[in-house]
Amino acid sequence: MSEAQDSLDELEEETPHAGDLIRPYLFDGDLIQIPRPEDADVGGFLPAWFPGDLPLLIYPPLAERGINPGDSVNLEVSPYHLYYGALRELAETADSDRSTSLTRLVLEWNPNAALELCELARAHVQENIETALLHYELALELDDSLYEATQDAGMCQFAMANMEGEDREERLGAAEDWFRRAVELRPISGLSWWSLARTLFDQGAEDEALDVLHQFLEAYPNGENRDLIEETLNTGFSDIQADGPPDEEQAAFQEAQALAWGQDPARAVELLTPLAEAHPDVAQVWFVLGAAHRRAGDLAEAERCLRRTVRLASQEPLAWSELTQTYISGSRWREAEDAARKCLELEADNPLYLAALAEALFNRGNREEAREALDQALDLVPDDPHLLELDARIG
């Protein structure tokens, strides 16, 4: 560990709230430049090689303190003012040499700075999606191979495409670029492939979107989030309800949606619970919350949320399908059969729904009818691994 990092750690131990006073306001404080003192090394924190003036992040802003341009002011400067000042200047500078120096400086002080910025971005995502995006973009300035920042930056761009006053096509194009990069960085992540496909679909490239989903299934038979890909191929990209949560909450919803079908459904529950309480009549929120609860293992809460969803959107087969899967997970075969039949009333000849019905019927002892439903599904998708496994069980 460098001496600079030791200084940062020692400062945190001595004044545990020094960084906390500035950290949340990286893009809200004032960035000022001061000449480097000739006879000072800022407590051993600033390396001798760093050129030029020192960047300082000041919060609250000077104007809020009643300080006008040209006024003299005495500032108490800690290493944190320099560290976050360097991050802020790195986000804003167009000078490549200065950018290189600032990147080196930040990473000497904190090798995990990019991960810290991702944490800060997630803290902002519910309040201000654009600020969250700035944090992710800055994280990628420090580490352009950081998958989490790449995927989440794409989610922010996608969410902003649906906000009033934004250039929808420009935002969707930016989201597409980020998702393509995320696929390169983590090709086994079905979530990134799905995100790319959804973005293409929203840009009117439906055939290309479906090709992306098929490509993932063929290339990565053991890839992550295959259930999300398969479900989308069976049901399409239709939303549960056209109007989701308000624009300012879209970022939290988009992140939660990714987490629900990703690797942290429990975190999705945390994000979605206040949204559901605030918007009790938005089926889309309740649907994703129910899906997150099911994947987190809380079947009772999953059922509660999904039953609310089907009350709000009774003609949406995707909602009934998720409820069906919840009943199957809990071995509640009669309820699973009823819900699966409702799916098929709304969308006949869907192999996913036929398979669910077959599984429910088989476990209720009705092998003959289960066989009939499964054969219909196999006629539609004869090589589906899940259907073939079910075929072997039913016999």
In order of their start, the domains of the chain are 1-111 (no CATH), 124-237 (1.25.40.10), 263-394 (1.25.40.10)
Contacts (Cβ under 8 Å, ≥6 apart) of 184: none
Distance CA 22, CA 29 (A): 8
**Closest by Cα among 382, 318, 330, 379 to 359:** 330
Read off the pLDDT of each residue in 187-214 and give the average, rounded to a whole number: 94
Average pLDDT over residues 346-357: 90
Q: What is the pLDDT of residues 217-263, one digit of tens each?
A: 999 988 887 877 887 887 777 554 445 555 557 767 877 877 787 67
Residue closest to 95 by CA, chosen among 177, 33, 23, 42: 33
101-106 mean pLDDT? 95
Write out pLDDT tens, residues 163-194. 788 999 999 999 999 999 999 999 998 989 99
Q: How many Å apart are CA 301 and CA 307, to the nearest integer?
A: 10
> Which position has the token pair 């998720």?
322
Average pLDDT over residues 349-378: 94
pTM of this structure: 0.71
